[in-house]
Structure 1
């Protein structure tokens, strides 16, 4: 393949990295400062997918916290997370080899995530992943997924045309449908529905499968 190969755009949390332990730590730091009990990992995982404001809202609803405090607690959550975002985060097995293979085959690579863009860039830098991606679109510039706007923006920043989208969740699947793009589902992330019930072009559980799935899409 050449540099004209189809761009491949990735979600971040639950797709390339398992970041919930650090999100849990930041959320618990904020809520314990409010006199609230900590959240366990499965509960925080259930809050993931529609951005940090939604995560905090879900946590507040669970604890019955006055929603008037939402802007303050969102700001506190963002600050706590950005201060220490990768101590417990790991890259999923096989991701680096898959990114190397896709890059070597000429596919421009991008990130489209609901994580605030500042935090996304910090995480990618600290995990040594930034260099793979020619475009990084996070929360804060346009509407959040499942609105297709951030995916369209990422495609534009990769040079236009079409793309494949790779993600792990219902939000990602709905975003790909809204954008009219093929969707490759990573089944080992944060989805809540059975994989076979989600809209998808193909699915995979091991990143070693991804390069040939991309090649099959042309």
Structure 2
């Protein structure tokens, strides 16, 4: 059996439309142009504070606005769930893996409150024994500590991490954990330039890849 930890945004769910809505709400009144969906996807992955930093840099906003914009963004973030969609086949595969006896967790840089909100909204929380958010520990990915904490909570079994981004690839590498790369997420780096043990574009491929990685 395996211990499988998943990233969230860009891996299990396409949350960029909701994140964009929260970000553009935070930008209202600043005179800055709204973010595009492509920009939003490019800014996701390193946590809310870095997202706001990237957003501000793209709009030429002064550093002194960061605290206020972060507060406004996070205030909108927790309720931003209604435009988010599960990637096709992901929920079915989670159910299949759970039925096979694999233990599963979640490790994301998304703050824990919006993480739990979107998991509840999409009925995904039932699949995970442990959920680690970007503010659950004092550090976040690519520091390996959050991933290791999630894996430790899952007990014994072959450790596997599933993610979509440069941050996820680096996290798995630093934690010395097999990495499965979802190629349809939010990464900007070519697949062959990211360290990974397996890559997939269709969630139906995942059970077979897990079997391969567990020997």
Q: Is 1:65 aligned with 2:61?
A: yes
Alignment match of 1:23 (pick from 3, 19, 25): 19
Work out the CA distance in 2 between the residues paired with 1:206 and 1:56: 31
Alignment match of 1:52 (pick from 34, 48, 51): 48
Q: Is 1:210 aligned with 2:206?
A: yes
What is the root-mean-square deviation of aligned Cα atoms in Å?
1.1
- The normalised TM-score by structure 1 is 0.95
Query: Does the residue aligned with 1:26 lie in a helix, a strand or coil?
Result: helix
After superposition, what is the alpha-carbon deviation per residue over 1:130-168, rounded to whole angstroms, capped at 9, x for unaligned?
A: 000000000112211111010011112222565100000
Structure 1 residue 71: Cα displacement: 1.7
Query: Does the residue aligned with 1:101 lie in a helix, a strand or coil?
Result: helix
Counterpart for residue 127 of structure 1: 122
Structure 1 residue 108: Cα displacement: 0.5
Contact 2:3–2:156 under 8 Å retained in 1: no
Work out the CA distance in 2 between the residues paired with 1:202 and 1:159: 23
Structure 1 residue 198: Cα displacement: 0.9
Contact 1:188–1:205 under 8 Å retained in 2: yes
Query: Does the residue aligned with 1:33 lie in a helix, a strand or coil?
Result: coil
After superposition, what is the alpha-carbon deviation per residue over 1:22-62, rounded to whole angstroms, capped at 9, x for unaligned?
A: 00000001102323211111111111110110010011111
Structure 1: stretches of 5+ with no match in the other structure: none
Structure 1 range deviating more: 55-64 or 28-37: 28-37
Structure 2: stretches of 5+ with no match in the other structure: none
- The normalised TM-score by structure 2 is 0.96
Query: Does the residue aligned with 1:114 lie in a helix, a strand or coil?
Result: coil
Aligned residues: 213
Work out the CA distance in 2 between the residues paired with 1:105 and 1:33: 51
Alignment match of 1:174 (pick from 163, 170, 180): 170
Contact 2:132–2:150 under 8 Å retained in 1: yes
Counterpart for residue 97 of structure 1: 92
After superposition, what is the alpha-carbon deviation per residue over 1:161-206, rounded to whole angstroms, capped at 9, x for unaligned?
A: 6510000011100000000000000000011011122100010100
Counterpart for residue 188 of structure 2: 192
